Structure 1
Amino acid sequence: LGCLFQGTLTALPAAGDTIGRGEELYSVDDTPVVLLYGTLPAYRTLANGTEGADVEQFEENLERLGYDGFTVDDEYTAKTAAAVEEWQEDLGLAETGAVDLGRVAYAPGEIRVDTVETNPGDPAQGAVFTYTGLDKLVTVEVELDSQELVVIGGPVTITLPDGTEAPGTVTGSETAVVEGGQGDESETVLNVTVAADDPAVFDGLDQASIDVGFPGDTAEDVLTVPVEALLGLAEGGYGLEIADGDATTLIAVETGLFADGYVEVTGEGLAEGQSVVVPS
């Protein structure tokens, strides 16, 4: 999180602090820089006559903080300025009715301070601290060969350290390069983020080893046999030895999905209920 003011940092949060809407992020020259919620970054001073999506975003926050007497829209009016003066008075600021660039900073929601990169007394410039959201997420590396399993918004199964399973959802993915050890080549993987459908399952966990299961393809109403029953054919492909009394017949088959030690098979002459020979 950077600072857009010129001056001296006079107060800073501590790592691990949580900061919500309307609360002080840090102070410059003993005046607060305030957190508001939104996705559009502050990029200009807001004053009477200003119009735009950033005005509406600011007014939504002002209303949520309990100030009224204005209409939440994309127009910064004299009524907005009057409400801002009340807000400035509560913050101990000069009551100008305008929001100077740098007075507020936006984040999607409540934040947790991660690392503080400055000290009180430092010049107010550049990055002040880093932060994260409060939602606990799981990050898992997926090899590119398995990237078809990763579907944004798709379901997954999360296995917690105590073995409890909970449903989750894929929230994002991005490629990353994992540097290899001495003499090993680097590897490109997918870093996949997963959120639990019920965030409460992560209560009491901060950093923990968690398994994530991705669903594969499914097939219904198919014939399956133990994988060990497959026989390699001299001409290529696979076959099954079908037992009929004391006689056996070799049937060529095509394989499909594999799961839990079984494989989907199709082939001329195959039927449900037949007995297959499994080599010992």
Structure 2
Amino acid sequence: MAETVTHLDDAHETAPVPPPPHGRRGRRAALIASAVLVVAAVAVIGALGLGGGGDKGPSTPPRSGSVVPVTRTTLAERTAVDGQLGYGTEIPLPVKATGTVTWLPEQGATVERGGTLLRVDDRPVVLMYGMLPMYRDMALIPPEEEAEEERSSDGRQQKGSVDQQKNADGASPGPSASPSPSVSPSPSAPSQAPRELRGMDVMQFETNLAALGYTGFTVDERFTIATARAVKRWQKSLGLPRTGAVGVGDVIYSAGKVRIGHAEVRLGSAAGENTLGYTGTSRKVVVGASAADATWAVRGTNVQVKLPSGKSVRGKVASVGKEASVPEGGGGEGGSGAADATIPVTITIKDQKALGRLESGPVTVEYVGREAKDVLSVPVSALVALAEGGNGLETEDGRFLAVKTGLFADGNVEVSGAAIREGMKVRIAE
């Protein structure tokens, strides 16, 4: 800089000096020439940054662009994965009725407690709610069956007494030996009242019967005469013979109402375990999460489900599968095998109305990975690269401040630094 100024001065001294003008016109021309030289010198000095500024040093005019404040917020890193909306995997109804299928419901129909799931030999198979399966008939034990059990019990006792006598005497009693009074058969008159059936399955059935409006008995673990009377009234409403007994194939239990799925048989076929499939009635999302990166898939985790319409609804992880599987073709030539393995993650949606009429289709599930709470942040576009390295922010008055960056999320970035404070204005260059 100093050499450049000296060069300018030397050039000015060696330049030829024109002869002094004569008269008023000459003096005016000389003044104009001097003014031009002064303006040119000032322009050169200004361009070279040699203007006076005291001790403040050079200043850079701020760049054009918008100004945004530094805000304090919580940043969350969100990851999106593909999912499928539907009613979940169909499972077969545990049909125990034997005979010919004479009626099937439409696919997609909803069946509630007391509703007919199908008809076998023109008898309805009814849905009821409960966790225990229907594993035996529900009925009073007839007196003759009870007497038969007593006779069988007496026979076992008689044989045991004879064996005991044989062991005591060392020999079997001969044909002429008369039985002791303790082992002689004593016929007893059968009980006139049937015996009550007992068990937790009885309470489950009676709970459903009362919920359907057929009462007059105590809901407990005893199938009583009063229970049988209520069963007869229920059978009459179904158009069945009023026997007061419920067959093992007359009822199917589920945790709640069901949605009918695919029928595996046609009308006229024999009923069996795989006759009809069903699902729950609530729509849910199933995600094939990467088995290598599924730390987010924890029961109770909140997620966002983005629908094809662009609308987002809240969801929650309900279950996580324990068996990983490789997608078709993932383990073949060119596939990465175990690296492609996924586990099924089921997500429930509490607000079913928010889904509208959409019953199935592809959706996007967003979950939070990393999270930074109560941090200072700015838009990512506010960051500038500093000449000395690293990132910085440009203040409203044109100063540049070095910052340390943290989590990047949703177009914003976590920033920190000695001079960075909440509310200060920084510039986003256009």
TM-score if structure 1 supplies the norm length? 0.80
1:1-280 alignment to 2 at 5 Å? 1-48=93-140, 49-174=196-321, 175-181=323-329, 182-183=332-333, 184-186=335-337, 187-222=340-375, 257-260=407-410, 264=414, 272-273=420-421
Q: Secondary structure at the match of 1:177?
A: coil
Distance 1:263 1:146, change over 3 A: farther
Instruction: Give the letter for the 1:108 counterpart.
Output: A
Is contact 2:286–2:346 with CA below 8 Å preserved after alignment? yes
Instruction: Give the letter for the 1:44 counterpart.
Output: R
Q: Secondary structure at the match of 1:62?
A: helix
Greater percentage in helix = 2
Residue 16 of structure 1: CA displacement?
Answer: 2.4
Distance 1:142 1:230, change over 3 A: farther
Greater percentage in strand = 1
Q: In structure 2, how many angstroms separate the alpha carbons of the residues matched to 1:197 and 1:125?
A: 34
Distance 1:242 1:15, change over 3 A: closer
Is contact 1:179–1:185 with CA below 8 Å preserved after alignment? no
Q: In structure 1, how many angstroms separate the alpha carbons of the residues matched to 2:394 and 2:260?
A: 68
Q: Deviations over 1:17-67 (max 9, x none)?
A: 222211211122221111112222111222232222222221121111111
Q: In structure 2, how many angstroms separate the alpha carbons of the residues matched to 1:142 and 1:216?
A: 14
Unmatched tracts of structure 1, length 5 or more: 232-237
After TM superposition, the structure 1 stretch with the greater mean CA deviation from structure 2, 186-195 or 121-130, is 186-195
Q: In structure 2, how many angstroms separate the alpha carbons of the residues matched to 1:128 and 1:180?
A: 28
Q: CA RMSD in A?
A: 3.3
- Of all paired residues, the percent bearing the same amino acid is 40
Distance 1:11 1:195, change over 3 A: same
Distance 1:185 1:40, change over 3 A: farther
Distance 1:239 1:79, change over 3 A: farther
Distance 1:59 1:217, change over 3 A: farther
Equivalent residue pairs, number? 270
Q: Deviations over 1:190-227 (max 9, x none)?
A: 32222223110122102122222112342223356888
Residue aligning to 1:234:
none
Is contact 1:242–1:275 with CA below 8 Å preserved after alignment? no
Unmatched tracts of structure 2, length 5 or more: 1-92, 141-195
Instruction: Give the letter for the 2:290 counterpart.
Output: E
Residue aligning to 1:235:
none
Instruction: Give the letter for the 1:7 counterpart.
Output: G
After TM superposition, the structure 1 stretch with the greater mean CA deviation from structure 2, 164-173 or 131-140, is 164-173
Q: Secondary structure at the match of 1:87?
A: helix
Q: Secondary structure at the match of 1:69?
A: coil
Instruction: Give the letter for the 2:362 counterpart.
Output: S
Q: In structure 1, how many angstroms separate the alpha carbons of the residues matched to 2:293 and 2:264?
A: 38
Distance 1:43 1:185, change over 3 A: farther
Q: Deviations over 1:107-157 (max 9, x none)?
A: 222222111011222122231111111111112222234322123122211
Q: In structure 2, how many angstroms separate the alpha carbons of the residues matched to 1:271 and 1:144?
A: 44
Instruction: Give the letter for the 1:260 counterpart.
Output: D
Bigger relative contact order, structure 1 or 2, given CA contacts below 8 A and separation 6+? 2
Q: In structure 2, how many angstroms separate the alpha carbons of the residues matched to 1:3 and 1:250?
A: 72
Residue 259 of structure 1: CA displacement?
Answer: 2.1
Q: In structure 2, how many angstroms separate the alpha carbons of the residues matched to 1:189 and 1:139?
A: 12
Distance 1:106 1:250, change over 3 A: same
Residue aligning to 2:58:
none
Q: Secondary structure at the match of 1:55?
A: helix
Residue 249 of structure 1: CA displacement?
Answer: 10
Is contact 2:401–2:419 with CA below 8 Å preserved after alignment? no
Instruction: Give the letter for the 1:177 counterpart.
Output: S
Q: In structure 1, how many angstroms separate the alpha carbons of the residues matched to 2:357 and 2:394?
A: 56
| Structure with greater Cα Rg | 2
Q: In structure 2, how many angstroms separate the alpha carbons of the residues matched to 1:56 and 1:258?
A: 58
Residue 73 of structure 1: CA displacement?
Answer: 2.2
Q: In structure 1, how many angstroms separate the alpha carbons of the residues matched to 2:360 and 2:241?
A: 43
